[in-house]
Chain A
Amino acid sequence: MSAPAAPPRTLLLGIGNLLWADEGFGVRVVEHIARHYRFGPEVRLLDGGTQGIYLVDQVRWAELLVIFDAVDYGLAPGTLKLVEGEAVPRFLGARKMSLHQTGFQEVLALAALLGDLPERMLLVGVQPAELEDFGGSLTPGVRAMIEPAVAAARDWLAPHGVEWTALAQPSEPGALADLPHGALALGRYEQERPSVEQACRSGDARVLERLRED
């Protein structure tokens, strides 16, 4: 019997802008994983934010890539949908709503151009309900999808021998390098948000006029 193969290099990547309501979904999923689980050295967790070209190298490193993101599938808000393999770039490119400098579709294309596309890819996407609430947090329906998103990633990775060690106590927000800064951790981010009276958000409605009329 031969020795078991080394576990595949796995990247769990959250992308999106956490300052823009449901756009923060991917980063919040990674934050949740970082607080509740530990992995061996073959697994990397990354809060990719809205980075573009910076992420190409991380993607090239991975053999298995799981991307968490808010994706406009045209489904009901809060719907979780998984997309695998070659179909992934299509969903990351169409009707791009985020500010990702280089659309993530392009990050994958650049990795492919360099001959280093991960062997297997999974996109765990949620249909956002609200993107325009600058400084806002996840809407309840989208927040409820964090744990199902984690479960979906675990199921998909299970046949590949990726081990998740659950922590008895969740770690402190901001204590780990791959988490957003403590002030941006979900709890503080929400609690310390200025009120409508304090910081006029009325612009959003007017800005949104075009969206609503569409």
Chain B
Amino acid sequence: MTVKTPNGYSLDDSGRRVVVDPVTRIEGHMRCEVNLDDDNVIRNAVSTGTMWRGLEVILRGRDPRDAWAFTERICGVCTGTHALTSVRAVEDALGIAIPENANSIRNIMQLTLQVHDHLVHFYHLHALDWVDVVSALDADPRETSRLAQSISAWPLSSPGYFRDVQNRVKRFVESGQLGPFMNGYWGNPAYKLPPEANLLALTHYLEALDFQKEIVKIHTVYGGKNPHPNWLVGGVPCAINVDGTGAVGAVNMERLNLISSIIDRTIEFIDQVYVPDLIAIAGFYKDWTYGGGLSSQAVLSYGDIPEHANDDSAENQLLPRGAIINGRFDEIHDVDLRDPDEIQEFVDHAWFSYPDESRGLHPWDGITEPNFTLGPNTKGTRTRIEQIDERAKYSWIKAPRWRGHAMEVGPLARWTIGYAKGIPEFKEPVDKLLTDLGLPFDALFSTLGRTAARGLEASWAAHKLRHFQDKLMAAIAAGDTTTANVERWEPSTWPKRAKGVGTSEAPRGALGHWVVIDSGKIENYQAVVPTTWNGSPRDPAGNIGAFEAALLNTPVARADEPLEILRTLHSFDPCLACSTHVMGPGGEELTRVKVR
């Protein structure tokens, strides 16, 4: 049966059903089902978060000044960005202004996370969807060297260097420790890189693994520790004392210089390794134009990286804020997170109950009442679902909508909005990338476009690290070492009742925390996370979310090897740990793929 969705997609569930559960190389637990037509093209897609979420279950009644420490533990990926969003929500509720230096340091923390997360995502979670490791073992290292020297000035590029890496990986694979390469569909015809490019990417997989440890040292300095850096309502918890010499406590000149040096090396690595690799790999996949989904129609960003402290205007956000709907790039709407008519979450297709499920609820009024029921067309049992019934409730992820529209969030959304606003630092790199690859503008709206936007953003973020570090150093040189405002630290200075919202642009997209405080304690806490937007199920009107839209109309080379499905889902950098909560033991090492 073919159904037309209000947001413009045709869904046909008559073909063979393929079930991928769990989707691997992501954070959290997710299941995906698609229907293939006779030509192995995806005609219906169903994305299910297989865990239940419930931050309010742990935070209600706790001290709002501590909330960040809990949100930082929700998952292993977005730690700092949740903490930042949480302190912003509490400061918003209590009317706390932060010092300019705290704003600079928070931006450095957030940009560090962006760079680190994008780099690790590209090489360690996504590259193997494009790069065939087994083919890399057959490459001629001299060809790889030629390729490397033709795309970048990065010095590690001799034939001997690539031969050493190749031998090291060969020994590793021959010893039977497949490790990170265990779940690959090696030899699948959807892999298009020649062996020498596969070896180049594999080599940089290892270099990036080694280099990423340098980037996170920035978190250790400004956050006091890593993993789980410290945050503070009212500012940042690191004191600055340029004359200090001890290793303990305040950030001194030696630490500030260390950060400066890491930033320089990070810029070098991103611009000489990551971005050239991205362009080289994309060049072999120019014909693979699938996966655009909502990106050309409806995108959303809350904006982040405020140039100045305590200014929430759209103009002050270096990562742009805005919403584009109906593919109208000439009209960018501002976004108000407090307006009860803008952001609403629906649950008629999610395993939750509302008194009236035809309507959505703003997060301040959010209800999280679980209700696990399965539709009449479900195949299998409640405990072992063989095929989900997407006409009924089918996910532990709620369906957030902006003014009723399903939206894509993430790097491609941010860059599309920046481009549409005509901001040169977004527009120029995109135009250059497309020109270098000889691709039209519309090519941006694809799985590869999403992956490319992430790479451009990593470079943008690395250079912005330089900007805020310089700004901080200039302030310190001028005698301003203030990093926290503790005037309203004591609950006795707070209003009896207050509510606030904090936002950030996490690496994978728009993140919002809404908090209600009563008598000094948290009364309600709701988080709408990026993967809630992208992985959302259908809504009462029948609109499909970003994952489902992106999978449609993609041809699959081999039905029992869901390489193309993983490719597109991974391009969103999904993170379900905080959008959902665990449902079952799950986590079997090998993905179960069922074709019916």
Contacts and interface: CB of A to CB of B under 8 A. Distances in A.
Interface of A: 17-20, 47-57, 72, 93-103, 105-106, 108-110, 112-115, 131-132, 134-135, 177-178, 180-184, 192-195, 198-203, 206-207, 209-211, 213-214
A113 B372 contact: no
B156 interface: no
B587 A95 contact: yes
Contact of B73 (A17, A100, A113, A207): A17
Given A183-B66, A183-B70, 8 more contacts: A49-B227, A53-B120, A100-B76, A110-B179, A182-B69, A184-B70, A203-B581, A209-B372
Interface string B182-224: 0000000000000000000000001001101100100000001
A96 B76 CA distance: 15
Contacts of A100: 76
A194 to B, nearest CB: 4
B228 A49 contact: yes
B595 to A, nearest CB: 23
A19 B28 contact: no
Contacts of B63: 183, 192
A19 B383 contact: no
B139 interface: no
Contacts of A203: 52, 54, 57, 368-370, 581
Given A109-B177, A110-B179, A198-B60, A95 B370 contact: no
A91 to B, nearest CB: 13
Interface in B39-76: 52, 54, 56-63, 66, 69-70, 72-76
23 contacts: A19-B70, A20-B582, A47-B227, A47-B228, A55-B227, A94-B589, A99-B582, A101-B77, A106-B180, A109-B178, A112-B177, A114-B209, A114-B210, A134-B54, A177-B224, A183-B70, A184-B70, A194-B62, A199-B57, A203-B52, A206-B372, A207-B370, A210-B584
How many chain B residues sit at the interface, stated as a range, is 35 or more
Please indicate which of the listed interface residues A53, A110, A211 has the most CB atoms of chain B within 10 Å of its own CB.
Answer: A53
A87 B368 CA distance: 42
A210 B371 CA distance: 14
Contacts of A99: 27-28, 75-76, 577, 582
> By DSSP majority rule, is chain A's interface helix, strand, loop, or mixed?
loop
Contact of B60 (A52, A108, A199): A199
A188 to B, nearest CB: 8
Interface of B: 27-28, 52, 54, 56-63, 66, 69-70, 72-77, 79, 120, 124, 168-169, 172, 177-180, 206, 209-210, 212-213, 216, 224-228, 230, 368-372, 381-383, 577, 581-589
Contacts of A184: 69-70, 73
B82 to A, nearest CB: 12
A18 B381 CA distance: 32
Given A19-B58, A207-B581, A210-B382, A112 B172 contact: yes
A20 B371 CA distance: 21
Contacts of A108: 179
